[in-house]
Each structure stands twice: as structure tokens, then as C-alpha cells.
Amino acid sequence: MSRYELVAGLETHVELATKTKIFCGCSTEFGGEPNTHCCPVCIGLPGTLPVLNRKVVEYAVRAGLVTHCEIAGVSKMDRKNYVYPDLPKAYQISQYDMPLCKNGYIDLSNGRRIRILRIHIEEDAGKLVHSRGNTYVDYNRGGVPLIEIVTEPDFRSPEEAREYLERLQFLMRYIGVSDCRMEEGSMRCDVNISVRPAGSEALGTRAEIKNMNSLSFITKAIAYEYDRQCDLLDSGEEVVQETRRYIESDGTTEGMRGKEDAQDYRYFPEPDLVTIRISKEDVEKIRASLPEDPDARAKRWQESFGISEADSAQLLRYRRVADYFDEAAKGLKNAKAAASCILGQMFRRMETEADKEKFETRVSAENLHALLQLLDEGKVRMNLVKSTLEKMLDSGKPASDFLSAQDLEGVSPEELDRLCTQAVEQNPKAVADYLAGKEKAVKSLVGFVMKSTRGRADAQKAEALLIDKIKAQA
Amino acid sequence: MQSFSIISKIHEGLSQKAYSCKELTQSYLDAIAKENGALNAYTLPTPEKALESARKVDEKLARGETLRPLEGIPLTLKANISTKGIVTDCCSKILSGYTPVYDATVWSILESQNAVLLGKCNMDEFAMGSSCETGCHGPAHNPHDETKVAGGSSGGAASAVAGGVAPYALGSDTGGSIRQPASFCGIVGLKPTYGAVSRYGLIAYASSFDQIGPLALCAEDAARIFDVLAQKDPRDSTSTGKKESALEALKKPLSGRIVGLVPEYFAGLQPDVEKALEEAKRVFESLGCTCKTVSIPEIRYALPVYYILACAEASSNLGRYDGIRYGYKTAHYTGINEMISKTRSEGFGKEVQRRILLGTYVLSAGYYDAYYKKAQLLRRKIQRAFAKAFTQCDFLLAPTVPMTAFPEGFTAQDAVQTYQTDICTVPVNIAGLPAVSVPCGFDADGMPVGMQLIGGSFQEAVLLNAAHQYELAARSQSFRSAGKGVEL
């Protein structure tokens, strides 16, 4: 056990997935030719005024509710003044002393609770693009809505920070307020880190590492910074309060600017916008529109459907998948089959996590339900379900297009008996192998029966019957 | 009804085809060509734009269609009101050549009515000033005496209207910038309630104070213009529109109205101004009003509150002028930081730099509580004090400025002394209230004196009614044409 305890807090910027920007009607879509998602308002032309997008407030309240925050009845926007070419008004419209949400938390799997100090809304800045020795500005991202989620310094290990961020990412996606794609910058993190002698309650001097956009960088940076600070203290030196940057190439951090160079943002209330008032009724309306609590949903699946913990976590990972599953599984005796269709066959067709998140499939939940209904009724077997589902996924047509009346009738005991006899008669080698102790040889006989019935037969029953017949023959 | 309205006169002239809109417009353009050298009211005449609108109006008349209230009426806009495709430079070098790509809401409203834009007019740089001398196009002159200032910051607007080279103008009023030049030039200037008229497209000086309003030859014209402009604008979250039509309320008799006299407004007046106000008070009494003393001691905080808050907002609003996207950019620099600081040092005039520095200071860490925060608290106190005053009277009567127009060069001598001349106008901006400056006489040199009628929130109709009734009773002693420009 180390002599020092890590104390870290996170400030996470999450881009909200509203269709339009926070103060104008421009598209928030990522990418696009530079400066094409812009208008006089979001490039701050003289005389323009911001108008707050109601959806942004609604999304931020959703984020607040899912992280157990109190929602402020009265809130306001403030100006944060600083000069940088990517900020065309020379101030960012943000929230200073009256954030929309405060005092929430996220619980970790080790039982520790990470307290959320506040969540506020603000506008993103544009982006500098360096090319051929020149610097250009792209204002497409300027005015894209962000929430900043600030925790108390409650993290004691890099792993806790990682779990918190993964949980946050999951929750934001689940309630549909952000795609949280770190590689596209729609989720970015600043970390405050200090260390203190184990057992001490006082906070040490902290360093802040700015603007990290990968979970592994964040955990590495925290681990590196912890070691660096411990080493400093061990060698009798002091930690300096400063802003540091993470160096991706070697996993270290370096100082950017000290405390004395800290910017004075000269915050003051934004005079171009009015006070934000959110009534208790509005909050309740938003709360009612939230999807079922993810933990409760997983528990429900596990208890009433018998889905494993691992599978329910997979299904919950993306909101569309979870909703699709609930719709397809509703009323089925064998809801597990729906889970296995989704996590198996359907996910196999989706290469990336982004594909799974979008979950674009040609089979409607209703059609999957109808197919699995047949399974419930004993009219088809799982292997026929699988082959039919493949055809449905290819064509988008319902199961009824691929299953004949004969398919749906199943295989009668007489027919199965006849086919098994036939299999034994026509495959003497397999029979001999089986009798010689190669138990697996029976599988080829089962395959023969399945093939002759185009998958309609119950493979387990067929296997048992075949073994009986082989033994009777011997 | 007796009318002093040049707007209704032109409306009638056009409708009855006494002259075409083209003829009317041309006569104003000719007058501008003739008089503007002496007045410097216009910084950018827009004859092509004007004649284009005039042609549309004449076509409409030829089709026998009726004209809307401000259709075909020429006007000028202050150089801080954005007009698509027409340079809007706030009379600042830093915005030299800046051509907006969109229209201010007020101009969209007027242009949709085929109002005839004669040009953009002179102002103090970024509307900071009381004399229209700080702009990059030189001072505007007072038509009543060209050695005197037109007032500021909407000095070009006041000079143009008083000088007969525009029937009316739109200006902006942050601490008196419509009322003070209206008073100095002997015309009517209305500063509407904060939020009554959209600020969208008005290049900001101090956002929580700025308000667009008309400068006109009489109260009736101000009412006609106000009624058209006062609309809720979805692009301006702080806009609320108006309560009632000001034009319809003009005819109401004033008998029984209680006029509040606030002693704090009457301290340190130039004797001629005091005399004119005394006379105005008698006119209101003759109209059946009762005058009553209503003290608002909080007014003594008004100047520091105004200069702290307005400069704080200005320091932030003007941060965007960095030479990167539009406007002036310094010629020689190494690196972005030097480019921005040189651009700003060269592009902003002295008064603007003074206010940016002052505003930056009061918002700085360690000073915020002592200045900005305290001023905000006092602002609320002043707002409450006015609200209380209006429980005791219908409107207030006060001087607009403690003196008549200064000689040119006066304001450059002492900034603080100049700021003090705003004492009568700034309280209204702090409280967000409407006020109208109305000519009420002359000093010994024949320079106009203005009185100010101040009302409760959205009481423009009450104020313009009182102003109109006053004009009916006293126009001959209170108003005098400068005898220039277009005679209709």
C-alpha cells in the first residue's frame, strides 16, 4: 500500500445531440465543409443576439435527472470573457454561479459514490486548423451545445475515473442526449489531480490536465500524474499548482501554465438572454419522458426473462437495442431467444460500435417477435428460426414469406422415426464409428435428419432416437 | 385635428399624387448634397437604395394601392443599425468598410414597408459620447448653430432631422443618445421601454441599456414610428413589444393627470433651461394637470452605476473586434497576439478605449464585488425607486440635459465633466423606462432647450399623448425650424 492517496476530480464536456446549435438554427452535425454550418449569430457578427434553444435546456435537465441532480428552478447564462481566434465574440456564453443542475452522483461498482457538484450548459468554440504554415478557423463547431459535468474530488484510482466516464457515457447515450464519441470530440475531459498522505483529510496542491479525449489517455495521465506527484513529495519537493498537458506519444504530462498565469474570465450575467425558469411541472414532464431506469431494466430482464447479467449489459449498452429487445421480447415465453438473435446474428452484421449504436436492421421488432412467437408455440425449432432470420435480415420480409405450411406443421413422431431409421440404414460407417466409441459420429446422422426435414425436426429428440436405433441394431 | 406631422403630410402628398416618391426622394437627396457639407449629419448617403425604394412606392401608387403607415417616407439610420449590403461602421475605424450580411429587425420592418433609406448617419464612435465628435468621420454640427455640437451619440440623426435633410431618423439610446441630441437640436426623441423595440442588428454598446427609438419633428411622428417598430422579435429574447398604440392615445385630454417633479433632476441647471422647464410646467397646469413633487434620492447613484455597468458590458461586447474576420486590421505584426492588440489600439478611438479599460477593470477578479456587483444592486434599487414614484404620478417632467448644446471641442477637455452632463438621461436607461425629449423653448442665444417626460414601463402612449397635447398648446413658443433642407 502506497503512502499516498490519489485525489482526483473530473470536468467532462459532453456535446448535446440537439439538431440545432444552442443559440441559433444552424446544424450541429459533425464534419461538413469548414464554415458551412454557420450564420451571423454563431460567428458573432456585430449586432446579432443569441436565442436559447429550449431543447438544450431539456437535454441538460435529462442529464441532470439521470445523474440524480437537483434541477434549479431559476438559472441564468453568463459571459466568460477570453480572447482566442476560435471564439468569435471573445466571450463564451456559459453558466457561472447558477448552473442548471447540481448535487448529483454516480455510483461505482465498488460501492463508492462519485458526487456531481454541478452540470451547466454552454456553447462550444470553433476549431483552429493548421495547414501549409497558416492557421485557419472553422466555426462549424462554434455554438454547438455542451454540458459540463463537474465532480467533487472523489476519485481514488484511475480505474474509478474510467468506470465513472464509461458509466457517464452509457447514461448520456441511454437517455439520448449525446453520442459521447470521444474520438470526434463530443466528450472531452479535464482532470484535477492531487495526492495526500494516506489517512489524511486535507487536500494537496492540485494539477489540472486539460482536454483529453480518450479513456485510456485519461487513465494513463492520472496514473502518471499520481506517480509524478508522489515522487516529488518523496524527494522533499512540492507540487506546483498548474495546468498540464498530456503527451500522447510517451504517456507523460508537461506543465503549460502556472497559477499566476491563470486567466481572469471576468464572468458577468449575459445581458442578451433572460433568466431561465423551469417549473416543477416541467421537470416532472421531462422525468416522465425518460426511459426506464437502466438498472431496474436490467434487473427486470434478469428476473422475468432469465437473461444473464452479461447479456443484459450488452442489450442495455445502446438505447435503440434495449428498446428493440423490449419490443421484440414482449409477451414471449422464450425472451432469451430474442436476446440471442440480437446479440448473435444481428450484431454479427454490425461491424463497429457505431453501427450497433445506430442499430439499423431490416427486421422490425414486430417481425422478430412474430418469428419467435412460432418458437414459443413449438411450431418451429431454433435452427429454423436462425436460418429464417438470416433470410429476413437479407430481405426485410416477414418470417411468413419463408416458412411454408409444412414448415410450420413440424415433424410428426412417425416421420421422425422413419427418417431416423433411414439415416441409420444409409450411413453404416457413422453407425460403426459410434459403436466403436466415437460418440460424435451420431452428429452426422442428426445432420442427415435435419437436412431431410429442412431443419424442422427437433435435433435433440432426433439424436436420442438415433442412439436408440443404433443400440437396437447392435 | 391639428397636426405637426411631416409623416402624415408626406403620406398625404404621395397618396394624393401631389408629388411622386421619386420627386420627394430626389429633393431630399439634393438637400443632402447641398447641406451635408455644413452639417456632416450623413456619413454615407445611399441615393441608389433610396431611389430603388421610391420606384417601388411609385409603382404601387400607379396600381392604385394604398400606402402603409411609413411606406415611401424617407429616413436615415444611425450608423450602428445593421443594413445588409450597406456599410455599417459605428463611425469607428475598427469597423471601416464593414458591410453586414443581414438586416437589423427594425430595418427589415421598415424595408418591408418600402421606407426610403436616405443614408447612414453620424454618431459618436460605438455610441460612446455626448457630442457626436468621437467618430472617425468628424463631428456632426448643430443646424441651429454650426459651431455647436449636435449632441450625442445620435448627433447625425438629430442634425439630419432638425436640418430638414431627413423627415425622421432611427437612433439608439444607451444613456441618453437619442434624447440628448434631440434636445440640443430642438426635435423630439423617444427612448422606448427596454424591450419594446428589437435590438437585433443594433451593434451593441451596452446590451442591457441599448434601445432603438425615433428622432422626429413632433410627438405624433414619434408615435407613428413607435407603433410600427414596437413588435416582439423572436430574434431578441429581451424584446417584448408594446402594450398599446401610441398614435390612438394622442388625442386624450390631459386634465386630471399628475405630473411628478423630481427635485434631484433640477439641481445645477443652466438658468435658461430652468426657465424653460418652469414655463413647460405652467403649460401642463394650463392643460389641467396637477404638478407634484416626487423625490427619487437614488438618482444620485445613477452616473456611477451607469458608467460601471455600461462600460463592463461594452468591454465584453467590443472584444470581438480583433481584425480576424472583418473590419480594420493592423498592417504590421508578428504573431496573433500582437495583431489583435495593435489592431485594437489603432482601430478604437480614445473614448472607446477608455470605456473598454474601465469596463475590464470593474469586472476583474478582486474588483467585481466592489464595482460591478454593487452597481447591479444599486440598479435594482433605482428601478424600485422609479416604480414607487409612478404610484404617485402619471409621468415625470424633467430637463433632458442641464444645459443647451455645448460648443464644439468642449467634451474633449474633461471626460468626467462630460459624463456628468448625462445626469438627467441615464436614470431612465438604468431603470429600463421610456422617456421622450420634447423641445420646450430656447436659451438666450436661440439654442433649443428640451424637456423630458418619463413614464412607467410601456407607458409610451401616456408620454407621447402628453407631449402631443403640450405641442398643441405651446408649439409656437417651443419649436423653431432651423430653416434648412426640404420645405414641404
Phi and psi at residue A389, to the nearest 5°: -60, -40
What percent of chain B is predicted at pLDDT more than 90?
Answer: 95
Listed in sequence order, the residues at least 6 apart from A243 whose beta carbon sits closer than 8 Å to its beta carbon are A207, A208, A209, A210, A255, A256, A257, A258, A262
Phi and psi at residue A191, to the nearest 5°: -120, 135
CATH code of residue A423? 1.10.10.410
Q: Cell 386630471 appears where?
A: B256
Nearest residue of A to residue B209, measured between CA atoms: A271
CA separation for the pair B267, B301 (Å, rounded): 14
Range of the domain at A109: 4-281
Contact B199 A274 (CB under 8 A): no
| CB nearest A89 (choices: B236, B320, B372) | B320
Q: Which of these ranges, A75-89, A134-148, A241-255, B125-139, has the smallest mean pLDDT?
A: A241-255
Is the Cα dihedral B341, B347, B350, B351 positive or negative?
Answer: negative
Nearest residue of A to residue B206, measured between CA atoms: A271
Point out the residues of B that are catalytic.
Answer: 78, 153, 177
pLDDT at B20 over 90: yes
All three cell numbers of A25, joined, read 438554427
- Can you say how many angstroms the Cα of residue B282 is from the centroid of all Cα atoms in its chain? 27
DSSP letter (8 states) at residue A399: G
Contact A89 B319 (CB under 8 A): yes
Tell me if chain B has a CB within 8 Å of the CB of A128.
no
Contact A268 B315 (CB under 8 A): no
pLDDT tens-digit series, residues B248-259: 999 999 999 999
- Alpha helix stretches (DSSP H) within B45-122: 47-62, 105-112
Strand order in the sheet with A4-15: A70-71, A101-107, A113-123, A145-151, A4-15, A187-197, A207-212, A242-247, A252-258
CA separation for the pair B61, B75 (Å, rounded): 19
What confidence tier does A1 reach under pLDDT thresholds 50, 70, 90? very low
Residue B84: list chain A partners with CB under 8 A. none
Among candidate residues B282, B316, B252, the one with its CA nearest the CA of residue B1: B252
More confident residue, B420 or B145: B145
Calculate how close chain A gets to B160, using CA atoms only, in Å: 24
Nearest residue of A to residue B310, measured between CA atoms: A271
What confidence tier does B391 reach under pLDDT thresholds 50, 70, 90? very high
> CB burial class (10 A; 0-12, 13-18, 19+) of residue A406?
exposed
Residue B319: list chain A partners with CB under 8 A. 81, 83, 89-91
The pLDDT value recorded for residue A194 is: 96
Q: What is the dihedral of CA A432, A436, A440, A444, to 10 degrees?
A: 0
Shared domain check, A458 and A377: no
Calculate how close chain A gets to B448, using CA atoms only, in Å: 33
Residue B208: list chain A partners with CB under 8 A. 271
Shared domain check, A156 and A272: yes
Calculate how close chain A gets to B14, using CA atoms only, in Å: 34
Shared domain check, A417 and A396: no
Q: Domains in chain A: how many in total?
A: 3
Contact B322 A83 (CB under 8 A): yes
The pLDDT value recorded for residue B290 is: 98
Does some domain include residue A228?
Answer: yes
Residue B98: list chain A partners with CB under 8 A. 46
More confident residue, A352 or A407: A352
Q: Show which of A356, A384, A409 is a domain's final residue.
A: A409
Tell me if chain A has a CB within 8 Å of the CB of B313.
yes
Tell me if chain A has a CB within 8 Å of the CB of B96.
no
Tell me if chain B has a CB within 8 Å of the CB of A50.
yes
pLDDT at A259 over 80: no
Shared domain check, A52 and A30: yes
What percent of chain A is predicted at pLDDT more than 90?
Answer: 71
Does some domain include residue A148?
Answer: yes
All three cell numbers of B439, joined, read 423641445
pLDDT at A59 over 70: yes
Nearest residue of A to residue B326, measured between CA atoms: A45
Strands (E), B122-266: 141-142, 145-149, 169-172, 188-191, 212-216, 258-261
Shared domain check, A417 and A368: no
Q: Show which of A409, A434, A452 is a domain's final residue.
A: A409
Residue B363: list chain A partners with CB under 8 A. 81, 266-268
Contact A83 B315 (CB under 8 A): no
| CB nearest B364 (choices: A51, A52, A264) | A264
Which of A103-107, A306-310, A374-378 ranks highest by mean pLDDT? A103-107
Shared domain check, A417 and A398: no
DSSP letter (8 states) at residue B450: E
Does some domain include residue A73?
Answer: yes
Among candidate residues A395, A413, A424, the one with its CA nearest the CA of residue A453: A413
Shared domain check, A232 and A119: yes
The SS3 call for residue A370 is: helix
More confident residue, A445 or B180: B180
Q: What is the mean pLDDT of chain B?
A: 96
* Helix%, strand%, coil% for chain A, nearest 5: 40, 20, 40
CA-to-CA dists, residue B463 to A229, A358, B83, B130, B180, angstroms? 69, 61, 30, 24, 17
Shared domain check, A433 and A342: no
Residue A46: list chain B partners with CB under 8 A. 82, 88, 90, 95, 98, 100, 203-204, 320
Calculate how close chain B gets to A129, using CA atoms only, in Å: 14
Shared domain check, A320 and A273: no
The SS3 call for residue B373 is: helix
Domains observed in chain B:
6-298+379-478 (3.90.1300.10)
Nearest residue of B to residue A276, measured between CA atoms: B237
Shared domain check, A346 and A216: no
All three cell numbers of B300, joined, read 444620485
Q: Which of B325, B339, B343, B377 to mutate to test the interface with A (most CBs of A within 10 A)?
A: B325
Listed in sequence order, the residues at least 6 apart from B260 whose beta carbon sits closer than 8 Å to its beta carbon are B291, B292, B293, B294, B389, B390, B392, B393, B394, B395, B396, B397
Q: Is the peptide bond before B53 cis (omega within 30 degrees of 0)?
A: no
Sequence letter at residue B109: I
More confident residue, B299 or A319: B299
pLDDT tens-digit series, residues A448-468: 888 888 777 778 888 888 888
Q: Which of B92, B102, B105, B358 to mutate to test the interface with A (most CBs of A within 10 A)?
A: B102
Contact A51 B237 (CB under 8 A): yes
What confidence tier does B2 reach under pLDDT thresholds 50, 70, 90? confident
The pLDDT value recorded for residue B220 is: 98
Contact B340 A83 (CB under 8 A): yes
CA separation for the pair B43, B160 (Å, rounded): 11
CA separation for the pair A214, A227 (Å, rounded): 20
Nearest residue of A to residue B102, measured between CA atoms: A40
Size of interface A-B (CB pairs under 8 A): 95
Residues in B 181-210 with any Cβ partner in A closer than 8 A: 199-204, 206-208
Q: What is the mean pLDDT of chain A?
A: 92
Phi and psi at residue A207, to the nearest 5°: -115, 150
Sequence letter at residue B184: F
| CB nearest A268 (choices: B235, B319, B363) | B363
Contact A46 B235 (CB under 8 A): no
The SS3 call for residue B257 is: coil
What confidence tier does A410 reach under pLDDT thresholds 50, 70, 90? low
pLDDT at B1 over 70: no
Contact B372 A268 (CB under 8 A): yes
Phi and psi at residue B88, to the nearest 5°: -130, 90
Among candidate residues A340, A265, A284, A275, the one with its CA nearest the CA of residue A308: A340
CA separation for the pair A227, A208 (Å, rounded): 15
Interface pTM, i.e. ipTM:
0.96
Shared domain check, A452 and A342: no
Does some domain include residue A286?
Answer: no
The pLDDT value recorded for residue B162 is: 98
All three cell numbers of B262, joined, read 423630481
pLDDT tens-digit series, residues B395-445: 999 999 999 999 998 887 888 888 889 999 999 999 999 999 999 999 999
Q: Can you spell out the DSSP letters for A5-55? A: EEEEEEEEEEE---SB-SSSS-B--S--STT-S--TTTTT-TT------HH
CA separation for the pair A65, A45 (Å, rounded): 36
Q: Show which of A246, A261, A281 is a domain's final residue.
A: A281
Q: Are strands B395-399 and B258-261 parallel, antiparallel or unpaired?
A: parallel
Among candidate residues B156, B218, B149, the one with its CA nearest the CA of residue B421: B149
Is the Cα dihedral B223, B227, B233, B239 positive or negative?
Answer: positive
Cβ-contact A105, A159 below 8 angstroms: no
CA separation for the pair B8, B227 (Å, rounded): 14
Shared domain check, A225 and A208: yes
CA separation for the pair A434, A428 (Å, rounded): 10
If phi > 0 it is left, if psi is from -120 to 50 it is alpha, else beta; for residue B483 that is: left
Residue B326: list chain A partners with CB under 8 A. 45
Contact A46 B204 (CB under 8 A): yes
Residue B322: list chain A partners with CB under 8 A. 83, 85, 90
Tell me if chain B has a CB within 8 Å of the CB of A341.
no
For residue A276, what is the enclosing H or E element? strand A276-277
Q: Which residues of A263-300 are buried (b: 16+ CB within 10 A; e: fewer)?
A: eebbbbbbbbbeebebeeeebeebeeeeeeebeebbee
Does some domain include residue A439?
Answer: yes
